[in-house]
C-alpha cells in the first residue's frame, strides 16, 4: 500500500486512540538508526513468500486448535507477535515474525536464531523496547505506521495481525489464510476490542 492511500487511515487511527504523530516519528528515527548498518532483508522475505501460500497466525486462544486442524504444512508461516511461542510449541519455526516487541521476546529471539525474519514495528509507545531488543535480533525488517524514512517500510496495517496480512500481500503471496484470529473475543479490554475492530476492517481492506 502506498503511503498516500494509507495516510488517511492512519490519521483516523491517531484520532481514535489519541496517539501522537510526533512520537511515532521519533520511534521511526530511532529504528532507522538502529538498522542503518544492517543488510536489507526485504529481498530475502520476498524470496520466501512470493508465489506461495501464506498462513498468517494471530494469537487468539483458538490458535492451538487451528494449527492442529491445519492440513497443509508446506506453506509460509507468518506469526503475529505472541503467536510465535505457540508455533514453536507445535515445532513450527515461523518464516516471518511481525512484532512491535510487546509479546514474548524470548520466543521471538529463539525463532530469529532459528532463521525467522523479524519485522519490527516502531511506534510511539515502544521506544524503550526498540532500544532494548533490536540490537539482539538478526535478519530484521523495520516498519512504521507514519511516513517511512529511508531503510524503513510502511506496508499498511495497525496491529501485528493485520500488518502481517498486508505484508504477505506486499511480498506476493499466492494466497493468504488466517488462523488464530478471533475478532469477537469478549474477554479482551475495551481498548483491545477497538483494536480488533480496526484489525478486522484493515484485513478486509487488504483482501479487497
pLDDT of res. 121: 99
Residues 6+ apart with CB under 8 A from 136: 109
Q: Work out the angle at residue 171's Cα, subtended by the Cα atoms of residues 49 and 192, and round it to the nearest 5 degrees.
A: 100
DSSP H or E stretch at residue 128: helix 127-133
Give residue-wise pLDDT tens across range 66-113. 999 998 888 999 999 999 999 999 999 999 999 999 999 999 999 999
Please check whether residue 127 is in contact with residue 27, taking contact to mean a CB–CB distance below 8 angstroms: yes
Distance CA 38, CA 156 (A): 23
- Does the pLDDT of residue 62 top 90, yes or no? yes
Residues 6+ apart with CB under 8 A from 189: none
End-to-end Cα, the chain, rounded Å: 12
Pairing of strands 53-57, 117-122: unpaired
Give residue-wise pLDDT tens across range 12-22. 999 999 999 99
pLDDT of res. 188: 85
pLDDT of res. 27: 99
Give residue-wise pLDDT tens across range 157-175. 999 999 999 999 999 999 9
**Cα–Cα nearest to 35, from 124, 131, 113:** 131
Distance CA 64, CA 194 (A): 24
Please check whether residue 109 is in contact with residue 136, taking contact to mean a CB–CB distance below 8 angstroms: yes
pLDDT of res. 114: 98
Cell of 48: 520466501
Q: How confident is the model at residue 187 (pLDDT cuts 50, 70, 90)?
A: confident
Amino acid at each position: 500500500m502506498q503511503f498516500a492511500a494509507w495516510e488517511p487511515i492512519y490519521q483516523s487511527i491517531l484520532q481514535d486512540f489519541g496517539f501522537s504523530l510526533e512520537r511515532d516519528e521519533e520511534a521511526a528515527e530511532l529504528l532507522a538508526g538502529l538498522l542503518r548498518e544492517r543488510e536489507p532483508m526485504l529481498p530475502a522475505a520476498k524470496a520466501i513468500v512470493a508465489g506461495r501460500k501464506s498462513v498468517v497466525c494471530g494469537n487468539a486462544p483458538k490458535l492451538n486448535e487451528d494449527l492442529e486442524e491445519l492440513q497443509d504444512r508446506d506453506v509460509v508461516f507468518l506469526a503475529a507477535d505472541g503467536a510465535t511461542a505457540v508455533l514453536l510449541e507445535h515445532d513450527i519455526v515461523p518464516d516471518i515474525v511481525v512484532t512491535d516487541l510487546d509479546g514474548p521476546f524470548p520466543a521471538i529471539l529463539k525463532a530469529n536464531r532459528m532463521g525467522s525474519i523479524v519485522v519490527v514495528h516502531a511506534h510511539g509507545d515502544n521506544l524503550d523496547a526498540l532500544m532494548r531488543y533490536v540490537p539482539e535480533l538478526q535478519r530484521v525488517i523495520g516498519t512504521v505506521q507514519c511516513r517511512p524514512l529511508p531503510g524503513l517500510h510502511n506496508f499498511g496495517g495497525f496491529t501485528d495481525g493485520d500488518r502481517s496480512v498486508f505484508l504477505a500481500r506486499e511480498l506476493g503471496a499466492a494466497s493468504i489464510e488466517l488462523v488464530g484470529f478471533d475478532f469477537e473475543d469478549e474477554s479482551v479490554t475495551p481498548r483491545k476490542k477497538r483494536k480488533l475492530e480496526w484489525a478486522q476492517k484493515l484485513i478486509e481492506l487488504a483482501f479487497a
